[in-house]
């Protein structure tokens, strides 16, 4: 990690730059694949699965037999762990349900708002070097709680044409209605346009690499909603002399091992802690099976020393981290004043990986500074708010003239007439 001491504020944006390609670098590829899938459907899907995943599939739909086999091969210990995580995630997301909002704005004018589930949702689950079955829980559980009718899951096959059994087990456990062996850009395109084997959906969820992120953004041009722009993972830790250096190092590495384009940042008011954490990283990284990936991510990452908590907080809000860990003598200051973060982890005994798996919060979060405007996935992500109004004779007489005056001022005669014709009858 590169250490930076007391950077000038004017240099923050450059220092905090993410190690990602620009959209222009990859949009051409994404657009070409989208056009192909839109024109040629499953034929194009199969072509790109063979090209990118190195496998030709006779059928990309997961069968009941494959799910049953997955249930058999998953150890009882892992099943119990997944079940406990499911219970905690379910508790937290069920608690997010809200009642109907009702108000009578004036006599005879009743307005209310109710939540309705999005009927068709697509879940993208990364496979590759780290099959994220935990993401199945994070997406399928709130979708099921919200009442989504169709929950379609796409995940890339391995070189044997299979999806990791833990992904299949979790999907079956959480009510996914269809599982399809397709990944990458072509999966997002399939969910956007629909093919004979991939249903078209109304909203797409899930993290992915930069290509998947751009593909999701492109899908919005075709009328499909997305959860958020969720790209390569990132973590920022703020810590001082009260923090445990080995804990901080382990948290930084836990995100660094996600991918070579992940980024981790340590912000501290203690030069000693920075030195101690870097020593711990050098020691702990040697024990990681994914050491090469973690090393590349660490090379993209930084330790930043600042003079005080106020400067640290301002820098952190400028960065807008996906994950934010607070381990200081003044945790409340950061917790009370952070405004740009996807999810916050407080204290020495709250590792970021708890949120990734089993505490109950959702781990699908905005990256690349999008936490300045986006929330992480939650129950409301799978619902729509519909407003209703009911006006009585008394109500239209009360607000009718207001509507007439406003419509007339905007030059919308038919709007005015829609009220006037009723008022005349009364």
List residues forming the annotated binding site.
124, 186, 209, 233, 255, 258, 323, 356, 410, 415
Q: Would you list which residues are annotated within the binding site for substrate?
A: 233, 255, 258, 323, 356, 410, 415
Instruction: Give the residue among 143, 153, 136 at the shortest CA–CA distance from 94.
Output: 143
- Please report, for residues 43, 241, 266, 275, 328, the alpha-carbon distance to residue 269 in angstroms, rounded to integers and kept in the order given: 56, 8, 10, 12, 9
Quote the Cα angle for 63-147-364, to 5°.
80
Coil vs helix vs strand at 248: helix
- Residues 322, 337, 363, 394: which is the catalytic one? 322
Burial class of 90 by CB neighbour count within 10 A (0 to 12, 13 to 18, 19+): middle
Characterise 182 by phi-psi region: left (phi > 0), alpha (psi -120 to 50), beta (else). Answer: beta
Q: What size, in residues, is the chain?
A: 426
For 93-151, give the secondary structure using H, E and C. HHCCCCCCEEEEEECCEEEEEEEEECCEEEEECCCCCCCCHHHHHHHHHHHHHHCCCEE
- Residues 234, 278, 280, 323: which is the catalytic one? 323
CA Rg value for the chain: 25
363 is catalytic: no
d(CA 169, CA 79): 8
Q: Would you list which residues are annotated within the binding site for NAD(+)?
A: 124, 186, 209
104 is catalytic: no
How far is C-alpha 57 from the geometric centre of its chain's CA atoms? 29
DSSP-assigned beta bridge partners for residue 239: 268, 327
Q: Is the Cβ–Cβ distance between 154 and 126 less than 8 Å? A: no
d(CA 304, CA 308): 12
Residues with catalytic function: 322-323
């Amino acid at each position: 990690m590169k250490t930076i001491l007391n950077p000038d504020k004017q240099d923050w944006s450059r220092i905090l730059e993410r190690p990602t390609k620009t959209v222009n670098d990859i949009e051409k590829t994404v657009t070409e694949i989208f056009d192909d899938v839109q024109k040629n459907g499953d034929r194009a899907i199969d072509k790109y699965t063979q090209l990118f995943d190195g496998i030709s599939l006779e059928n990309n739909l997961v069968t009941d037999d494959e799910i049953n086999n997955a249930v058999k091969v998953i150890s009882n210990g892992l099943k119990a762990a997944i079940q406990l995580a499911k219970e905690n995630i379910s508790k937290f997301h069920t608690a997010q349900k809200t009642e109907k909002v009702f108000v009578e704005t004036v006599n005879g004018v009743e307005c209310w708002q109710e939540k309705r589930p999005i009927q068709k949702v697509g879940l993208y689950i990364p496979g590759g070097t780290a099959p994220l079955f935990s993401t199945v829980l994070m997406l399928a559980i709130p979708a099921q709680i919200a009442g989504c009718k169709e929950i379609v899951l796409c995940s890339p096959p391995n070189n044997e044409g299979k999806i990791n059994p833990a992904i299949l087990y979790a999907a079956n456990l959480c009510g996914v209605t269809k599982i399809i062996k397709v990944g990458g850009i072509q999966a997002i395109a399939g969910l956007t346009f629909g093919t004979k084997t991939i249903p078209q959906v109304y909203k797409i969820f899930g993290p992915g690499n930069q290509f998947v992120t751009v593909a999701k953004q492109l899908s919005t041009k075709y009328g499909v909603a997305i959860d958020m722009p969720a790209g390569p993972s990132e973590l920022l830790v703020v810590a001082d002399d009260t923090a445990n250096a080995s804990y901080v190092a382990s948290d930084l590495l836990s995100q660094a091992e996600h991918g070579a384009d992940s980024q981790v940042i340590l912000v501290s008011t203690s030069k000693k802690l920075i030195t101690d954490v870097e020593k711990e990283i050098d020691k702990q990284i040697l024990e990681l099976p994914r050491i090469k990936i973690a090393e590349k991510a660490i090379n993209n990452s930084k330790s930043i020393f600042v003079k005080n908590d106020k400067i640290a907080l301002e820098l952190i809000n400028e960065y807008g981290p996906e994950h934010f860990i607070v381990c200081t003598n003044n945790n409340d200051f950061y917790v009370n004043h952070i405004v740009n973060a996807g999810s916050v982890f407080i204290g020495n005994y709250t590792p970021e990986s708890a949120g990734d798996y089993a505490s109950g919060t959702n781990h699908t979060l905005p990256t690349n500074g999008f936490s300045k405007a986006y929330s992480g996935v939650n129950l409301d992500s799978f619902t729509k708010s519909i407003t209703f109004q009911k006006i009585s004779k008394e109500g239209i007489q009360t607000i009718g003239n207001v509507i007439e005056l406003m419509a007339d001022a905007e030059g919308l005669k038919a709007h005015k007439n829609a009220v006037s014709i009723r008022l005349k009858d009364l």
